[in-house]
């Protein structure tokens, strides 16, 4: 039996040599994971807005068609905003890649099981919605392939990465929303963006 993927190893690999990738992280563990991999201005970690990560990614992707946008989020967060799969599939953004780190748990609230622990197939739902590329990942080789697909991406992608339900030390990004917003905009759009 193969060992389950460790979420922080997955995120570190996906974000290594990330270039100018724009990264949105859903609240909770994915926000801590991207911060663990290295907090930076082009990260937008969420502290709330559960169910909104993928749609925030769509807004960025439509505004910045020449940049690649990676949304890293959890299974609970994605389950709360499933309608976004339909909305994004209709828009067909070529530069939006959604990766769900699926530990089958609500990690921040006591590791209660989510629907994916009971067979709900998020990648299948994304495929049925019309995503051009959908995949399930549960091996290191699969993570490398996913990384290549993101970096060479030409159409919207949805990946469900099965990860271990570990309890990990929190690695917190800044909490102040205006700071997170303004540093992202300044890094992406130039220092004058905060005066617009």
Partner 1 sequence: MNPQPDMPSAAGLLYYRARSLPPIHGTQMKKTAESAWPGEVHALLKEAGIRQVAIVPDAGHARLIKLCEKDKSMRVVRLTAEEEGVALLAGAWLGGEKGVLLMQSSGVGNCINMLTLPIACQFPLLMLVTMRGDFGEFNPAQIPMGNATQAVLEALGVIVKRADAAKDVTEMVSGALRLAFNTYRPVALLIGQRVLGAKDFRKLTESVPQ
Binding footprint of partner 1 on the chain (CB under 8 A): 22, 24, 44, 46-53, 55-64, 81, 83-84, 86-87, 90-91, 177-178, 180-181, 184-185, 188-189, 193
Q: How far apart are CB 76 and partner 1 at their closest, in Å?
A: 14
For 66-105, give one letter per residue: b (16+ CB within 10 A) or e: eebbbbbbbbbbbbbbbebbeebbeeebebbbbbbbbbbb
- With respect to partner 1, which residue has the nearer C-beta, 52 or 76? 52
Provide, rounded to whole angstroms, the least separation between the CB of residue 10 and partner 1: 23
| Count of CB atoms situated within 10 Å of the CB of 163 | 25
Q: Minimum CB separation from partner 1 for residue 105, in Å?
A: 21
- Report d(CA 89, CA 128) in Å as an integer: 9
**For partner 1, which is the closer residue by CB, 63 or 170?**
63
| Closest approach of partner 1 to the CB of residue 24, in Å | 7
Q: Residue 82 gets which letter from DSSP?
A: T
Residue 23 backbone zone (phi > 0: left; psi -120 to 50: alpha; other: beta): beta
User: Is the Cβ of residue 15 or residue 22 nearer to partner 1 in the bound state?
Assistant: 22
């Amino acid at each position: 039996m193969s060992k389950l993927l460790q979420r922080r190893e997955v995120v570190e690999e996906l974000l290594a040599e990330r270039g100018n990738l724009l990264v949105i992280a859903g609240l909770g563990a994915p926000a801590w994971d991207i911060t663990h991999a290295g907090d930076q201005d082009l990260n937008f970690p969420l502290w709330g807005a559960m169910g909104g990560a993928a749609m925030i990614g769509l807004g960025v992707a439509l505004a910045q068609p020449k940049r690649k946008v990676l949304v890293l989020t959890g299974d609970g967060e994605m389950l709360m905003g499933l309608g976004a799969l339909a909305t994004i599939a209709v828009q067909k953004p070529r530069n939006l890649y959604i990766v769900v780190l699926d530990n089958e748990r609500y990690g921040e609230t006591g590791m209660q099981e989510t629907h994916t622990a009971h067979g709900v197939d998020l990648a299948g739902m994304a495929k049925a919605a019309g995503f051009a590329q959908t995949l399930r990942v549960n091996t290191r080789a699969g993570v490398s392939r996913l990384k290549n697909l993101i970096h060479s991406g030409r159409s919207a992608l949805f990946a469900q990465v099965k990860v271990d339900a570990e309890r990990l030390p929190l690695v917190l990004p800044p909490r102040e929303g205006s700071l997170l917003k303004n540093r992202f905009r300044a890094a992406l759009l130039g220092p004058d963006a905060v005066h617009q």
